Amino acid sequence: MSLYHRLFDTVLVRTDPEQAHHAAFRAIRAGRPVAARAVTHLARAGDPVPVEAMGLRFPSALGLAAGFDKDAVGVDALAALGFGHVEVGTVTGEPQPGNPRPRLFRLPDDRAVVNRMGFNNEGAEVVARRLAARAGHRPPPPTDGRRPVLGVNVGKTKVVPDDEAVADYQKSTGLLAPWADYLVVNVSSPNTPGLRDLQAVERLEPLLSAVRRRADEVTAHRAARVPLLVKIAPDLSDDDVRAVGDLAVALGLDGVVATNTTTTRDGLTSPAARVEAAGAGGLSGAPLRARALEVLRLLRAQVGDDLALVSVGGITTVADAQERLDAGAALVQGWTAFVYEGPLWPARVAAGLRPGG
């Protein structure tokens, strides 16, 4: 058992998960660049293999999923730990506090997390200013595999009525797309009422079309369009997964991120009382492994080679991540495993991957 595992299992499990997250994130940011790069050096078994996807060059196939750095305050510090791309957000058009606390829960027996954060973030205007300052108020240069790729994940503001959702996404897109290497439309969190209804094809098509138009308007100066992806839930039926794949191809999207968290609690080994105490919200971590892989295979069979698929959900080991790449994922992402495995995890996994295997 590693030092981090002993620390986690004896100390961190007794700490409020959200407080522990903020403390760990502060330490990561404070340690950049010296400490974080030392961690990366110690963890590497070899140099990661760069990946070409969506017209971008990624330093490695492993990225950090949205939800960890909601406000884009630690992109470069996180990348220094070994992530080839960092997806910030979810960012909403308006700032919002999220759901009442407690809203983040661990299920250590399952190496899983339940969250009902509710898109707590500082809002698109604040995050856009932060990203502009990071970029020196210049558009990001073409990626060359030496710098982390920045993804921006946008979602719906909770108080915005459903019939104004498109305008809300367009606001976020207009502010954030100029600073993003790629953009993700999140319609799959279970923690914003009505959000998952936007995954229905008849509602998703006008939303994605509007976001595409707005992204093109604010990045017309670039040599290439900002890649646009949609993030879907694992709880969609197989037929709905295929329908989203067909729509993504028809609209000319660049990819699909699959999958978000699940509302199901099937097959958990955690005591029922602990699961019940965690309550409602999205479940992430090892229990998603089988369904996330299944959704990936469904999508790849449906869309052929037309889209970049980003696989997330239940990835813990190098073998887990490699299995996704072998099943057709262009990129993989983690979040919950980062929490359970510690700061050496991203560099260790990234170095072990062989894309296109």
We report the CATH number of the domain holding residue 317 as 3.20.20.70
pLDDT (tens digit per residue) in 217-237: 999 988 899 999 999 999 999
User: How many residues can be counted in the chain?
Assistant: 357
C-alpha to C-alpha distance for 85 and 289, rounded to whole angstroms: 21
**Does the annotation count 189 as an active-site position?**
yes
Catalytically annotated residue among 172, 189, 270, 311: 189
For the record, the structure tokens of 7 come out as: 């620390």
Instruction: Decide if 99 is inside a domain.
Output: yes
Number of separate domains in the chain:
1
* Residue 99 counted as an annotated binding residue: no
For the record, the structure tokens of 134 come out as: 């990071």
Instruction: Decide if 295 is inside a domain.
Output: yes
Higher pLDDT: 156 or 19? It is 156
| Domain ranges, residue 34 | 3-352
pTM, 2 dp: 0.93
For the record, the structure tokens of 114 come out as: 């339940």
* Residue 285 counted as an annotated binding residue: yes
Instruction: Decide if 242 is inside a domain.
Output: yes
Instruction: Decide if 357 is inside a domain.
Output: no
* Residue 156 counted as an annotated binding residue: no
Instruction: Decide if 57 is inside a domain.
Output: yes
Given pLDDT bands bounded at 50, 70 and 90, which one contains residue 118? very high
Asked whether residue 80 carries a pLDDT value surpassing 80, the answer given is yes
pLDDT (tens digit per residue) in 319-343: 999 999 999 999 999 999 999 999 9
* Other CB atoms within 10 A of residue 138 CB: 9
For the record, the structure tokens of 73 come out as: 């305050």
